[in-house]
Amino acid sequence: MSMDEMIEECKTFYIAGHETTSLLLTWAVFLLTTHQEWQENLGEEVLRECGKEIPTSQVLCKLKLVNMVILETLGLYAHVTAVQRKAGSDLEVSGIKVAKDTILATQIKTIHTDKEIRGEDAYEFKLQRFENGVVRAAKHPTAFMAFSTGPRACIGQNFTMTQAKIVLAMILQRFSISLSLKYVHAPKDVFTLQPRNFSSHLGEGCMWFSRPYKCRAR
């Protein structure tokens, strides 16, 4: 592997391992601020299963609502909105002939919000759709494509899910979260899906603000 190839691989790891996970958490927190009842339910689940301790792998398996929120967040605000694949040979897909080396793009956002696939409530925040797992969350078993699918699916998806569950659980252990009055909802797609006025700092111009949640401070 050449130096240039190594640099490109490092860039890929950085984007895939840092930015996408942080954006997943950003949108998950946003959705919880706009659905306070679910934020309360998640907070209760986290305190019931792990108290104020850092969640272990055994505890993460019990955080069903936290897992469902993350999956629903990926359904509504997939951090990567499209994936591309290059045809390795001449082939035919559903009657359409595709020449070798053709670049095929799959629009994840379009699939995730297709009412024929996801249902009439495709744009709604509905955790119940994941009660029976990802495969049964839509009318097609592979319709959930937040990490792509098949042999080229994201190699870091399990790490991302674990990391997101731990961070979200630890936030809910300590804080109640509200949407900033200055926030304007205007997602922008710059390879990854970001809030237009995204800020990594809590404060003026921030997407949300947090405050200690006294009822949980035991």
Catalytic residues: 20, 147, 154
Please report, for the chain, how many H helices and E strands are present, in that order. 8, 8
* Cβ–Cβ < 8 Å for 100, 90: yes
Residue 64: how many other CB atoms lie within 10 Å: 14
Residue 122 — left, alpha, or beta (φ > 0 → left; ψ -120 to 50 → alpha)? Answer: alpha
Rg from Cα positions in the chain: 19
Indicate the burial class of 110 (C-beta count within 10 angstroms; 0-12, 13-18, 19 or more): exposed
Bridge partners of 175, per DSSP, are: 212
Which phi and psi angles does 107 have, rounded to 5°?
-85, 100
